[in-house]
Amino acid sequence: MIVDGENRGFRQRLRMLMRMTAFRLTLIFFFVFLVFSVALVTVSLFTVTTVLHREARSVINEELVVLRRTFKRGGVRGLVRAVDQRSRAPGASLYLVVDQQGRVFAGNVQRLPTKVLERDRWIHKPFKYELLAGMPRARPPLRRNGSNPSDRPEFDREELDQSSPRAAIARVVFLENGLTLLVGRDFGQPSRFRSIVLGTLIFTVLSLAVIALVSWYFLGRRALRRIEKVSKASQRIVAGDLAQRLPETGTGDEFDRLSSALNSMLEKIENLDGGIKDMADSVAHDLKTPLTRLRNRAEAALVPKEGLTSEAYREALEDTISQSDQLIRIFNALLMISRVEAGSQAGSLEPVDMKMIVEDIGELYEAVTEESGATFDVSIQPNVSDWTMNGNRELLGQAVSNLIENALKYGGKSSVDDDGNVTNLTSISLLLRRRGAHIHLVVEDNGPGIPAEDRDRVKRRFVRLEKSRTKPGSGLGLSMVNAVSKLHGGRLVLEDNKPGLRAYMELPSS
């Protein structure tokens, strides 16, 4: 029972390890390296063996050509003399000359399998053999235990293939007069090379396994700890803590880049979530008053009163329609801002001429400002040949119009003379400038401006400063301009115009 429990515990730990990505990757890389190493060693051994085999065959063929020529010229005596001389040379090949009865005439082979001499052939498969311990001047015949020198020697014993450390390939040639000539080359070098390479491969594989385990233990566990931190942070985010961020170590590695990208996404989500909450609060606060006023006006029109004429009913209905239109405009503006911030208009970006947009808007508002007594000036930077950028013409036009409307509404300046006459001193400028790789759409006024601490806040939906609450508006104008600027890869900047406000959209040119 204890053994079964231990086996189950081991299997459970093994399954836990196999579920770890770092451990699985370690195993995959280990086996891939093992397969490629075995393949490389196999190809190398095959190539080396083939080259050595080819060289050995070439040497054997060359020697056979010489010995055959010697045999033709000098007969058996000349062949025996030549083989005897070659057998005594340092690094000599294998030589053997025997007759049909198996008597040895010359050579340096002590023992070899008898089947080697059975046929005239190439012996490509290495066979075991033994050389003479030393080469005396008069070579004794090959012997077997208790045999007569003239008897056929027994060249083979079954244990020879297992005990002899040497191996060779050879060419056996049947000559005239019943002689058999064997010329061979030692082929133990590839075997020794194979043994060395296989030993090295085994050592390398074992070393790789140890390194892989050590690397996994130190590096893999470190990566797992970072993943665990990310997992815990993600759980807190899912629980509702959108201010939580994924941990970064500052090393700039893959985990840090992933965490940075996800943190940017979380920041965007947090901002959007905060914007939704702010918008909900603002909608509930800012729309409650007009809706209540609309209801009260309709209710008052329904209360029967003496002397209430049809004109009074008509006036009540017109006021109701007017306030309903204002509410519809607010909701349309909210819908447009939401679409722009969601990027749904990004697909409609195309090359547009900013100079043409500014000129068209300038013509439109020039008449409007003249009627109100304000001054309106349009200025386009000269010596600029290309005002083209990728954008949405309608959204850009609407954004510039919003800036001008805000300047007319909140940037107004007037004076009253002694007779009570009011003079409009409002001055508005629409400027088109290029600064490096950016185009600036600037609207300036000479009004009271916006305090520095409120300039970021007024870009949010339904934000209206206290001094502007007595004037009509919904607090969505600058929010719309800010969303359009971000959609085009730019930004909305609010600065002090001394006096007044300078508001400009900084947009990248194409």
Q: 177-208 pLDDT, tens per residue? A: 888 999 998 877 666 767 777 777 788 778 87
Q: 437-471: string of b/e by CB count within 10 Å (b at 16+)? A: ebbbbbbbbbbbbbeeeebeebbbbbbbeeebeee
- Going by their DSSP bridges, the two strands 491-496 and 501-508 should be labelled as antiparallel
Residue whose C-alpha is closest to residue 440's, from 427, 429, 425: 429
Cβ–Cβ under 8 Å, residues 152 and 165: no
Q: Position of tokens 């008597």?
A: 103
Residues of the chain with pLDDT under 50: 1, 135-163
* 444 three-class SS: strand
Cβ distance 167 to 185 under 8 Å?
Answer: no
120's torsion region: left (phi>0), alpha (psi -120 to 50) or beta? beta
Domains in the chain with CATH codes? 14-193 (no CATH), 347-413+424-510 (3.30.565.10)
Which residues is 414 bridged to in the sheet? 424
Vertex 485, ends 484 and 486: CA angle to 5°?
90
List residues bridging with 131 in a β-sheet: 109
Question: How far is the C-alpha of 354 from the C-alpha of 346, rounded, in Å?
Answer: 17
Q: What is the pLDDT of residues 432-460, one digit of tens each?
A: 999 888 999 999 988 888 888 888 888 87
pTM reported for the whole predicted model: 0.47
Pairing of strands 375-380, 427-435: parallel
Strand (E) or helix (H) holding 20: none
How far is 444 from 404, CA to CA, in rounded Å? 9
For residues 367 and 373, give the distance between their C-alpha atoms in angstroms, rounded to a whole number: 10
Q: DSSP for 214-253?
A: HHIIIIIHHHHHHHHHHHHHHHHHHTT-TT------SS-S
288-302 and 254-286 helices, crossing angle to 10°: 20
Q: Please, is 91 exposed, middle or buried when counting C-beta atoms within 10 Å of its C-beta (0-12, 13-18, 19+)?
A: exposed
Measured CA to CA, the distance from residue 234 to residue 81 in angstroms comes to 92
**What percent helix, strand, coil does the chain show, rounded to 5?**
55, 20, 25
Whole-number pLDDT of residue 207: 80
Q: How many CA atoms lie within 13 A of 39 on its CB side?
A: 6
How far apart, in whole angstroms, are the C-alpha atoms of residue 182 and residue 122?
Answer: 10
Give strand pairing partners of 111.
Answer: 130
Instruction: Note the pLDDT of residue 127.
Output: 86
End-to-end CA gap in the chain: 77
- Token reading at 69: 């020529």
| DSSP-derived 3-state class of residue 286 | helix
Q: Dig out the tokens for 145 from the structure.
A: 């235990």
Would you give the DSSP letter of residue 16? H
Contact 220, 23 (CB under 8 A): yes
Given this model, what pLDDT does residue 440 score? 92
Helix (H) / strand (E) element for 63: namely helix 21-88
pLDDT of res. 146? 33
What's the pLDDT at 153?
Answer: 41
Closest CA to 462 of 370, 302, 331, 358: 331
Element (H, E) at 78: helix 21-88
